[in-house]
Amino acid sequence: MTKAVITGMGVISPIGNDIDTFWASIKAGKSGLGPITRFDATEFDSRVAAEVKNFEASQFMDKKDARKMALFTQFAVAAAVQAWKQAALEGSGVDLERVAVVMGNGIGGIEIFEESHKKLLSSGPSRMLPLTVPMMITNEAAGNISIHFGIKGPTLTTATACASGTDALGQAMDMIRSGRADVVVAGGTEGAISAFAVGSFCMLKALSTAYNDNPQKASRPFDSARDGFVIGEGAGVMILESEAHAKARGAKILGELAGYGSSCDAYHVTAPEPSGDGGALAIRLALKDAGIAPEAVAYYNAHGTSTQMNDPIETQMVKKAFGDHARKMKVSSTKSMTGHMIAAAGAVEAIVCALAIQDGFFPPTINLDKADEACDLDYVPNVGVYGTIDAAASGSLGFGGHNACVVLRKYK
């Protein structure tokens, strides 16, 4: 089977806007959480978020182009520019008709919707933002990446809520394997820290509310004192290539995207199915697709949202998928540092896996002071550790019952 190899990666995140800074922050157990600054959150039950800091779109694209993009699209293009550069595709003579884009997004340009809707109500339809629709719709991240690089191949968007980024990587891998593309720019992006989004999640009772005065402690996956997730933002992008294409152009291969599995709980629009069977199925399918035994996976990057419901169910899920090996491998949730980046989460966490394999480092779950009794695996509490990692997996769960998993492997 044609291998899908990784030749470039890029990230915009609450703990760093390039791969080196991001990975250094992960290794240091740095929290990207803080008080919400995007709007006045005084009246909100949850006033904590993991915001991207010091982001300047003009560092990655033309200012005029950036002004026509919502924040989630700016993040996506910025991460793609980093990945494209690392892959050394500029001036490589790559056939742009054989390059594709697959990006995951969940909520779209919600800040554009808010602004335009306010203008509609206050001043009438003639004062709405002229580019409301093309800035707001979820496919514009993928579309603008193609425009930026002149990519002529399939340009697609996955929308499976918080599993979107993982599903995008899986779809991209399949495109490489099937020969429909030589190169795929793939990942996920989200920029939804807005009053409307935060207020909506508050109404679902999904967000952390107990740590408004100590925000860096608010995301605490698997901890007995967890009380909800913390909304984050950013983007993660990988350049995937067929092994033959990467070798032919002398590209540096960073790893292999080796397997993908997807399933649906068919249970509830927001709650995971209590047995964890659906998520376990996605993991088993990914392992089968990769052609590796559960025992070969040294590290699992969990969805680990820090909600009361998710964490114990995901623990069961991991046990069902990996069997006895679940207690021998290391499991952690980097959402403890990045918050929950919604559609970007799976892509960024797959990048974490790739970096963990390269560096031989198991990332920590910070704020894990006392594990829930129902969460009894090795979650690498608070301090990461070094070790051998030949294969890692990353799992994502999304509203609607969407489950997705990818397996990454050291390139040999």
Model confidence at 56: pLDDT above 90 = yes
d(CA 92, CA 88): 7
Q: Summarize the chain as % helix, strand, coil (round to 5).
A: 40, 20, 40
Any domain includes 254: no
Q: What is the pLDDT of residues 133-152, one digit of tens each?
A: 999 999 999 999 999 999 99
Q: Are residues 197 and 218 in the same domain?
A: yes
Closest Cα partner for 22 from 341, 73, 30?
A: 30
Asked if 26 and 275 count as a contact pair (C-beta separation under 8 A), the reply is no
Q: Which of 148, 202, 268, 303 is catalytic?
A: 303
Number of structural domains found in the chain: 2
Contact 354, 408 (CB under 8 A): yes
Residues 6+ apart with CB under 8 A from 233: 14, 49, 50, 51, 52, 71, 72, 75, 190, 191, 192, 193, 339, 341, 342, 344
Using the predicted structure, report yes or no on whether residue 387 has a pLDDT greater than 90: yes
When pLDDT is cut at 50, 70 and 90, the band that residue 62 belongs to is very high
Mean pLDDT of 4-25: 98
* Eight-state DSSP code of residue 76: H
In this structure, is the dihedral angle defined by the CA atoms of residues 9, 380, 395 and 393, taken in order, positive or negative? positive
Which residue range forms the structural domain that includes residue 242? Answer: 4-248
Q: Specify the pLDDT at position 334.
A: 98
User: Does some domain include residue 267?
Assistant: yes
- Stretch 15-25: mean pLDDT, rounded? 98
* 402 has catalytic annotation: no
Question: Is 305 found in the same domain as 243?
Answer: no
Residues 265-298: pLDDT tens digits?
A: 999 999 999 999 999 999 999 999 999 999 999 9
Mean pLDDT (whole number) for 89-103? 96
pLDDT for 67 beyond 90: yes
Q: Has residue 49 got a pLDDT over 90?
A: yes
User: Domain holding 327: CATH number?
Assistant: 3.40.47.10
Catalytic residue among 340, 353, 375, 405: 340
Q: Is a pLDDT exceeding 90 seen at residue 228?
A: yes
Report residue 123's pLDDT band, with 50, 70 and 90 as the boundaries.
Answer: very high
- Both 344 and 196 in one domain: the answer is no
Judge whether 219 lies within some domain: yes
Residue 268 annotated as catalytic: no
On whether both 147 and 269 belong to a single domain, the answer is no
CB-CB contact of 81 with 60 (8 Å) = yes
Asked if the model's pLDDT at residue 357 lies above 90, the reply is yes
Threshold 0.85, pTM exceeds: yes
Same domain, 244 and 302: no
Which string of DSSP letters, residue by residue, matches 251-291?
Answer: PPP-EEEEEEEEEE--S-SSSPPTT-HHHHHHHHHHHHHHT
User: What's the whole-number mean pLDDT along residues 23-34?
Assistant: 98
Q: Span 16-29, mean pLDDT?
A: 98
Sign of torsion, CA 286 243 298 158? negative
Mean pLDDT of the chain: 97
**Is 325 an active-site residue?**
no
> How far is Cα 181 from Cα 244, in angstroms, rounded to an integer?
12
Band of residue 94 on the pLDDT scale cut at 50, 70, 90: very high
Confidence of residue 244 (pLDDT cuts 50, 70, 90): very high
pLDDT of residue 1: 80
Environment class of 125 (CB within 10 Å of its CB; exposed 0-12, middle 13-18, buried 19+)? exposed
Share of the chain above pLDDT 90, in %: 99
- Alpha carbon of residue 50 to chain centroid: 14
- Looking at the structure, tell me whether residues 54 and 188 fall in a common domain: yes
Question: Quick check: is 353 in a domain?
Answer: yes
Whether 176 and 278 map to the same domain: the answer is no
- Mean pLDDT, residues 50-79: 97
Mark whether 17 and 156 lie in a shared domain: yes
pLDDT in tens, 294-335: 999 999 999 999 999 999 999 999 999 999 999 999 999 999
Q: Is residue 12 part of a domain?
A: yes
214 and 266 inside one domain: no
Instruction: Give 68-86 pLDDT, tens digit per residue.
Output: 999 999 999 999 999 999 9
